[in-house]
């Protein structure tokens, strides 16, 4: 049979299948095939996160308190679609989407409610936000300052990965060049103001959910990472000043062995790229540290309880592959937002693996397996060839504008869909082992009345604040955006005065414009 990445999976692997001189090494040593840290989970397990956010900031805050009480070790914020696109809840384009796929955050008032009662110097927070990622990070910093927490004590991650939005996801705002400037500005700002913050989570997850193979996932993700490094260097930053805060985000599928090989290959490739391509000297600049989420696209609405098994296998692959943090999907996510019970079960899956399976007793337990080492090399070979094809266009942006990555992913997605439809690829409960009567399920529903309430709160905010001061601050931001000054301090000034996320983004739209993709036919 063939792996998703295209290479042949052999029925039996032997010593001769492992490439001579394969760079295995030790855990915590270059090229980090066996993990970025010498002890990995033997001293403490990975960070257990649960991605959550829906409705209002108050509702999401209650879910965060529930998750922390259940033992989660870090928060992961899901924002609604208007927030992800830089629109306020009262913008006409936001109608019908407020609070649906995440929490609605319009201003510092909402961010304050979102983290009410949560000491921000004691939790690590990941925020899945891209085009307006810097805006939400600044709101988070402002709330922390209100708690008396200095920027140097904040730990967490913003996704801030705009390139994959053009390739696979679509929540972009500005064209690529100013978007890359905003990313570089965020790198520089955080180095000075929030030094422990991971300034970007370069994401393969969404490309995988769109249909990318494991080799395509890491190839296009690492290529994007190279583009961000080049943008930061062009902005005058030194590689070892920002590279240690780069992080990555991958999917974990049910194809267990290929996924373990994928993670190991990605670490090895990034270490080599950073040392040989960019001359990084700091060992932390060479380490590919990543968060993993189990594969939402592989969850089924049919017989949803079977998803508990899928998620456990996917989580096992992420852990055996050496992830630094992990989100496990709830079994009912193919139907609706997770209920409190299903979210707790997803967390319990990680806790069983951490404390009952024995996985944390040794580092890289699959090292030396003929199959794993051969597959790691195969994935690396496929991914390296794809990276070369990306840069044959000149840059990642050039390849995006030619539609290369998007077309490659769509071709893979079409192939997988055909294999499922034909029965060649088995999906339990969908094309084999089906049942006639599906169990009824009562999903979590977001109250549509929250949109009106959110709009009302925005009206009150605009009536109460100093509008002249806000307008002046937004004017200063526009001037900075026209030049080369770092825009984050100006954004922070406006947000402190209760400017909204939408107003800040509209100010930048007025200077930088918006991106219109070119479709290839």
List pLDDT tens digits, range 428-461: 999 999 998 777 777 767 788 899 999 999 999 9
Output the CA–CA distances (angstroms, integers) from residue 93 to 86, 96, 168, in the order listed: 11, 9, 21
pLDDT recorded at residue 286: 98
Q: What is the mean pLDDT of the segment spanning 415-420?
A: 93
Q: What is the mean pLDDT of the segment spanning 289-299?
A: 96
Q: Give the pLDDT band (50/70/90) at residue 295.
A: very high
Which conformational region is residue 290 in: left (phi greater than 0), alpha (psi within -120 to 50 degrees), or beta?
Answer: beta
Length of the chain: 521
Q: Give the pLDDT band (50/70/90) at residue 521.
A: very low
pTM for the full predicted model: 0.93
**391-414 burial: b if 16+ Cβ within 10 Å, else e:** eeeebbbebbeebbbbebbeebbe
The per-residue pLDDT of the chain, averaged, comes to: 94
pLDDT recorded at residue 443: 72
pLDDT recorded at residue 252: 98
Q: Which residues pair with 331 in a beta bridge?
A: none
- Cβ partners under 8 Å of residue 410, min gap 6: 210, 211
Q: Is 101 exposed, middle or buried (0-12, 13-18, 19+ CB in 10 A)?
A: middle
- Could you give the residue ranges of the DSSP H alpha helices within 196-331? 205-209, 214-234, 239-242, 256-272, 283-286, 307-320
Q: Which residues pair with 49 in a beta bridge?
A: 74, 327
Q: Is the pLDDT of residue 100 over 80?
A: yes
Rounded to the nearest 5 degrees, what angle is found at the Cα of 398, between the Cα atoms of 204 and 175? 80
Q: What is the mean pLDDT of the segment spanning 285-291?
A: 97
pLDDT recorded at residue 22: 63
Whether the ω angle into residue 150 lies within 30 degrees of 0, i.e. cis, is no
Contact criterion met (CB below 8 Å) for 213 and 412 = yes
Which domains are seen in the chain, by residue range? Answer: 15-403 (3.20.20.240)
Q: What is the mean pLDDT of the segment spanning 286-298?
A: 96
Contact criterion met (CB below 8 Å) for 516 and 105 = no
- 367 φ, ψ (degrees, to nearest 5): -60, 140
Nearest-CA neighbor of 325 among 354, 365, 298?
A: 354
């Amino acid at each position: 049979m063939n792996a998703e990445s295209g290479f042949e999976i052999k029925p039996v692997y032997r010593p001769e299948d492992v490439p001579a001189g394969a760079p295995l090494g030790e855990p915590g040593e270059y090229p980090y095939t066996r993990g970025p840290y010498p002890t990995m989970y033997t001293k403490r397990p990975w960070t257990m996160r649960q991605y959550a956010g829906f409705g209002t900031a108050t509702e999401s805050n209650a879910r965060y308190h529930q998750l922390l009480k259940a033992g989660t070790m870090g928060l992961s914020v899901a924002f609604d679609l208007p927030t992800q696109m830089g629109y306020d809840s009262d913008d006409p384009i936001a109608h019908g989407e407020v609070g649906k796929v995440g929490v609605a955050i319009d201003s510092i008032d909402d961010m304050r409610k979102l983290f009410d009662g949560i000491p921000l110097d004691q939790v690590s927070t990941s925020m899945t936000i891209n085009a307006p990622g810097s805006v939400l990070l600044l709101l988070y910093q402002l709330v922390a300052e209100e708690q008396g927490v200095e920027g140097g004590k904040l730990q967490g991650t913003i996704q801030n990965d705009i390139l994959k939005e053009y390739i696979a996801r679509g929540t972009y705002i500005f064209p690529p060049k100013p978007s890359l400037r905003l990313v570089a500005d965020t790198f520089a700002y955080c180095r000075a103001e929030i030094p422990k913050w991971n300034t970007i989570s370069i994401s393969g997850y969404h490309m995988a959910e769109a249909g990318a193979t494991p080799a395509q996932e890491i190839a296009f993700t690492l290529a994007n990472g190279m583009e961000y490094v080049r943008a930061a260097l062009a902005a005058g930053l030194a590689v070892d000043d920002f590279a240690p805060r780069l992080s990555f985000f991958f999917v974990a599928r049910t194809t267990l062995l290929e996924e373990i090989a994928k993670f190991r290959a990605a670490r090895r490739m990034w270490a080599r790229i950073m040392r040989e391509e960019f001359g990084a000297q700091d060992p932390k600049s060479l380490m590919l540290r990543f968060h993993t989420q189990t594969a939402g696209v592989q969850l089924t609405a049919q017989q949803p309880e079977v998803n508990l098994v899928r998620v456990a296998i996917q989580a096992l692959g992420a852990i055996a592959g050496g992830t630094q943090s992990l989100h496990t999907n709830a079994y009912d996510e193919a139907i609706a937002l997770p209920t409190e019970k299903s979210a707790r079960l997803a967390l319990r899956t990680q806790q069983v693996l951490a404390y009952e399976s024995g996985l944390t007793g040794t580092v890289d337990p699959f090292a030396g397996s003929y199959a794993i080492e051969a597959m790691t090399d195969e994935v690396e070979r496929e991914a390296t060839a794809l990276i070369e094809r990306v840069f044959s266009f000149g840059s990642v942006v050039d390849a995006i504008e030619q539609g290369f990555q998007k077309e490659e992913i769509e071709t893979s997605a079409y192939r997988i869909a055909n294999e499922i439809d034909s029965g060649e690829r088995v999906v339990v409960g969908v094309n084999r082992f089906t049942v006639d009567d599906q169990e009824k399920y009562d999903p979590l529903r977001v109250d549509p009345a929250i949109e009106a309430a959110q709009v009302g709160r925005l009206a009150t905010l605009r009536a109460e604040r100093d509008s002249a001061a806000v307008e002046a601050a937004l004017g200063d931001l526009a001037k900075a955006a026209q030049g080369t000054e770092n825009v984050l301090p100006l954004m922070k000034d406006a947000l402190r005065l209760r400017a909204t996320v939408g107003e800040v983004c509209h100010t930048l739209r007025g200077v930088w414009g918006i991106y219109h993709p070119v479709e290839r036919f």
